[in-house]
Chain A
Amino acid sequence: QQPVQSPQAVILREGEDAVINCSSSKALYSVHWYRQKHGEAPVFLMILLKGGEQKGHEKISASFNEKKQQSSLYLTASQLSYSGTYFCGTGNNFNKFYFGSGTKLNVKP
C-alpha cells in the first residue's frame, strides 16, 4: 500500500530543477508532500485533495493526476536549503496514512 517514489536519489547544483514522482497501485484520494532533513522530523509542504489539482509554494509546486494515481513534486531553481528526503504520503480515509518510499535530494553549491 506504500506509494512508490522515483527517483530514489538525485543530486543537483544550486539553481537546477528537479521532479519527484509518486505513484500508487491503489486509488489516491489525497496526496501529501513532506520534507525531512537529516535528524529532524518531517515537515509538511502541501496537500492535494482532488485530481487535476496543482499547488505552488514559492518555487516548489505539485500536481495530482487522480486517474493515473500519480503525483509529482516540482522543485524550481533549487537552493541549498532544499536538501533532504522528500516523501509523498496518502491516506484513504480519515486516519490511515502511508508514506512513500522517499527521494533523497542533495543540492550542492
Chain B
Amino acid sequence: DTEVTQTPKHLVMGMTNKKSLKCEQHMGHRAMYWYKQKAKKPPELMFVYSYEKLSINESVPSRFSPECPNSSLLNLHLHALQPEDSALYLCASSRGGDEQFFGPGTRLTVL
C-alpha cells in the first residue's frame, strides 16, 4: 500500500468553528508532514513529525494545532481560522529524507 489518504476532501468553515483534518498512511514511514499550498504557489512546509514527535514547526500560528496519535495517523486541528487560511492542505510521508508520498489534499475554505 503506497497510498496516503486525507479526509475530508473539501471543508468549508466559519471563523469561529473548530474542525480537524485527518491523514493516514500504512507504509511504515516515520516522517509525516503538513504543507499549505495557495493557488499557483509551491507547497509551504508547516509541520514535520518524526517518530511521532513534532520536530519542525515553521512558525505556524497557534490556530493550527498538529497531532500525531500514532505512527500511521496525523491530524491538523483548526480553530478560529482567518479567510487567508483558505488553501489546499497537503499531507505527506517519507521513510526519512527521501521520496515524499503526498495525499490528495483537503481544500479548505474559511468564510
CA distance A75 to B45 in the complex (A): 27
Q: Is B101 an interface residue (CB 8 A)?
A: yes
Of B13-21, B48-56, B67-75, B77-85, the one contacting chain A is: B48-56
CA distance A102 to B40 in the complex (A): 9
The reply to whether B45 and A97 contact each other, CB–CB distance below 8 Å, is yes
The reply to whether B31 and A40 contact each other, CB–CB distance below 8 Å, is no
The residue of chain B having its C-beta at the shortest distance from the C-beta of A3 within the complex is: B42
The residue of chain A having its C-beta at the shortest distance from the C-beta of B56 within the complex is: A95
**Nearest chain A CB to B61's CB is how many angstroms away?**
19
The reply to whether B50 and A94 contact each other, CB–CB distance below 8 Å, is yes
Of A12-20, A41-49, A63-71, the one contacting chain B is: A41-49
CA distance A61 to B71 in the complex (A): 34
The reply to whether B50 and A40 contact each other, CB–CB distance below 8 Å, is no
A-B contact number at CB 8 A: 51
If the complex has contacts A41-B102, A47-B98, are A95 and B48 also in contact, measured as CB distance less than 8 A? yes
The residue of chain A having its C-beta at the shortest distance from the C-beta of B47 within the complex is: A95
If the complex has contacts A96-B45, A98-B45, are A42 and B102 also in contact, measured as CB distance less than 8 A? yes
CA distance A41 to B102 in the complex (A): 6
CA distance A95 to B79 in the complex (A): 26
CA distance A87 to B98 in the complex (A): 15
The reply to whether B55 and A95 contact each other, CB–CB distance below 8 Å, is yes
The residue of chain B having its C-beta at the shortest distance from the C-beta of A43 within the complex is: B102
CA distance A91 to B96 in the complex (A): 11
CA distance A2 to B102 in the complex (A): 20
CA distance A12 to B50 in the complex (A): 41
The reply to whether A41 and B56 contact each other, CB–CB distance below 8 Å, is no
Measured between beta carbons, the chain A residues less than 8 angstroms from B55 are 94-95
Shortest beta-carbon contacts, A-B, top 4: A99-B42, A41-B102, A95-B48, A44-B99
Residues in A lying within 8 Å of B, measured CB to CB: 2, 30, 32, 40-44, 47, 87, 91, 93-102
